[in-house]
Amino acid sequence: MSDLDMEDVALALVAPSKGILAADESTGTIKKRLDSIGTASTEDSRRDYRELLFTATGASDYISGVILYDETLRQSSGTGTPFPELLKANGIIPGIKVDMGAKPLAFSNGELVTEGLDGLRERLSEYYSLGARFAKWRAVIAIKDGAPSQYCIDTNAHALARYAALCQEANIVPIVEPEVLMDGDHNIDECYAVTETTLKSVFDELYKQRVVLEQMLLKPNMVISGADCQEQAGAEEISDKTLYCFSQAVPSAVPGIVFLSGGQSEQQATENLNVMNQQGKQPWEISYSYGRALQSSALAAWQGKPENVAAAQAAFLHRAKLTSAARDGEYNA
């Protein structure tokens, strides 16, 4: 693949039938995933697991880009090919998570702000030289006990915009991820209100900080009921409220919206994406940047055993194919 400019990269990431695999779990998060299958988290086991995903033959029919973690960007396959090179050779664009995680926000009631701006310009320059052409920064907004505060939303939005501007300066497409968590017993309308307020603050900051909207992607949550809410909204309501929310808050210059799965089951995340893509043409491409909803079955099939690699790859390809169909509104449950 020859080098593309940022608008081309953003469009390639949301090409028809394709979306992003989020395989950028931090060392702490991947440990939790590996613990769930009774596998020790070591540099080698993390490498073996990521290699399994990246070498699944045919994945590039469904996967346009992969978000890597710092350690993974520097790792190589068993045969010695650096992962970014291996992905690129398969027509998949390598990306990199660049935030340093959500930390307690001073003077708030237990809210979080994402850190990682110090030294980011230098890190982006190195990531570019290692092959990364897009990046991700995740802000976390929780709904609970009177939260989120406007203070928390605005502080995270400001950091997201600073990150996005630095990315574009480095010729790297920023994925801007303000995640309103689905944890809690709030209903879908509370999620709607917080998501709309958050997106408005994020785009206000992106505008103030001169971020070029054509050269970025938005990675939001869907507007959805809290995981512990008694009344769970169905796919039609989720689709209607999510698309309406974006119509109010996301400029049409943004080329694509790539959802996170956020703890939805693989089936839910696929079904909801499918219904949204059946609503006709939107101002933005509607696609995916799933972690758990693309990986859960593969992880369970693998169990950390070399003899299960083929079964794990088959499970991953199956989910990727269904998610790709949903991205085109052609998924049949």
Residues that bind ligand 13P (CB under 6 A): 22, 138, 177, 260-262, 290-293
In the complex, least distance from residue 290 CB atom to ligand 13P, rounded to whole angstroms: 4
CB of 210 to ligand 13P, least distance (A): 25
CA distance 177 to 179: 6
Which residue's C-beta sits nearest to ligand 13P? 291
Residues 6 or more apart whose Cβ sits within 8 Å of residue 193 = none
- Identify which of residues 177 and 196 has a Cβ nearer to ligand 13P in the complex: 177
Report in angstroms how near the CB of residue 79 gets to ligand 13P at its nearest.
Answer: 28
Please identify which of the residues 25, 177, 179, 285 carries the catalytic annotation.
Answer: 177
Q: Which of 89, 101, 100, 165 is nearest to 131 (CA)?
A: 89
Q: What b-and-e string marks burial along 155-167, b requiring 16 or more CB atoms within 10 Å of the CB?
A: bbbbbbbbbbbbb
The nearer residue to ligand 13P, 148 or 291, going by C-beta atoms, is 291
C-beta atoms surrounding 37 within 10 Å: 15
Task: Determine whether 177 is an active site residue.
Answer: yes
Among residues 18, 97, 136, 219, which one is catalytic?
Answer: 219
Beta strand residue intervals within the chain, DSSP E: 19-22, 63-68, 93-97, 102-104, 112-114, 134-141, 173-180, 217-218, 256-259, 285-290
- Whose Cβ is closer to ligand 13P: residue 158's or residue 292's? 292
Please answer whether residues 44 and 71 qualify as being in contact, where contact means their C-beta atoms are separated by less than 8 angstroms: no
Min dist. Cβ of residue 196 to ligand 13P (A): 20
Exposed/middle/buried for residue 331 (C-beta within 10 Å: 0-12, 13-18, 19+): buried
CB within 8 A of 41, min separation 6: which ones?
Answer: 27, 30, 31, 34, 35
Q: Which is nearer to ligand 13P, 201 or 261 (CB)?
A: 261
Identify which of residues 39 and 296 has a Cβ nearer to ligand 13P in the complex.
Answer: 296
Q: Output the smallest distance, CB 301 to ligand 13P, in A.
A: 17
Among all residues, which ones are annotated catalytic?
177, 219
